[in-house]
Structure 1
Amino acid sequence: MINSSEFTTRLQKVIDYYDETASSFAEKIGVQRSSISHILTGRNKPSLDFVMKILHSYPEVELYWLLNGKGEFPSNQIKTSTNISSESELKPDIKSKIADTNSEIEKIVIFYKDGTFKSYTP
């Protein structure tokens, strides 16, 4: 079960991050302004449909982060925080595997111990 007050804080962080007003955010995700207001004030809890509309409209928002606060927001921050600036930062066995291929990278998938994962396409 999600903690409504913490969800509200994360929802407000999303709205602020994109420099939206509650009205413009509601319009972008396709809900009434009153729905945003009621969730932000704690009067109502978010529905699954509401959460899915946020995820659809804002792909940088991760489900687990929005619901439970686990993970990162925005999700693309991991790209910059784990950016490898040189081959010397790679482990030797990984470096040799990369050097042996002449193919382009199609997708990078990071698996976490809690069973979640994130995938990135260049």
Structure 2
Amino acid sequence: MINNKAFVNRLQQIIDYYSESASSFAEKIGVQRSSISHIISGRNKPSLDFIMKILDAYPEVGLYWLLNGKGTFPQSPTHEETLPPTPAATNTATKEDAPNLFSQIKNAPKGKTIERIVIFYNDGSFKSYLSDESLS
């Protein structure tokens, strides 16, 4: 859960860093001025859409820094954030494994079928594909 007071402080840091007024900041990220006012006053909590608009407009703002203060601000636009490790990370393929993945998919062990393939993009989005067999 996001600490709202700490989030507001980081939001204010961004506004100050870019020498923006609340109005110009709201215009740049594409929200109403009242949205900024309500978040800063603590009346409302930021939505995911609001956070994503900040990240789109200001590439130097890191997601983890904005949400929980981890990392640095400003970060260089080429800096890649590392995601926290997940239990599935032990089955993660590397670039070197890519040529072999297709043959592994075609030669799945007997009795096993692929249920889902998920592709993660470097912007944090993903696309999930369900196999036709899992839909039956």
> Are 1:71 and 2:92 an aligned pair?
no
Q: How does 1:1-122 map to 2 (within 5 A)?
A: 1-76=1-76, 114-115=84-85
Which consecutive aligned stretches of 4+ in structure 1 deviate over 2 angstroms post-superposition? 107-112
- Percent identity (aligned): 67
Q: Which whole-Å CA distance do the structure 1 matches of 2:18 and 2:38 have between them?
A: 20
User: How far did 1:76 drift?
Assistant: 1.9
Q: Which whole-Å CA distance do the structure 1 matches of 2:75 and 2:79 have between them?
A: 14
Q: Which whole-Å CA distance do the structure 2 matches of 1:108 and 1:23 have between them?
A: 29
Q: Which whole-Å CA distance do the structure 1 matches of 2:80 and 2:44 have between them?
A: 36
Cα RMSD (Å) of the superposition? 2.4
AA aligned to 1:32 is Q
Larger-Rg structure: 2
Q: Which whole-Å CA distance do the structure 2 matches of 1:49 and 1:58 have between them?
A: 14
Normalized against structure 1, the TM-score is what?
A: 0.64
Asked if the contact 2:7–2:68 (Cα under 8 Å) also holds between the matched residues in 1, the reply is yes
User: How far did 1:56 drift?
Assistant: 0.2
Q: Which runs of 5+ in 1 are unaligned?
A: 78-106
Q: Which whole-Å CA distance do the structure 1 matches of 2:21 and 2:4 have between them?
A: 20
Q: Deviations over 1:67-116 (max 9, x none)?
A: 00000000029xxxxxxxxxxxxxxxxxxxxxxxxxxxxx886868x54x
Query: What SS class does the counterpart of residue 14 from structure 2 fall into?
Result: helix
Q: Which whole-Å CA distance do the structure 1 matches of 2:79 and 2:35 have between them?
A: 37
Aligned pair count reads: 86
CA gap of 1:70–1:24, structure 2 versus 1, over 3 A, is same
AA aligned to 2:61 is V
Q: Which whole-Å CA distance do the structure 2 matches of 1:5 and 1:109 have between them?
A: 27
AA aligned to 2:50 is F
Normalized against structure 2, the TM-score is what?
A: 0.58
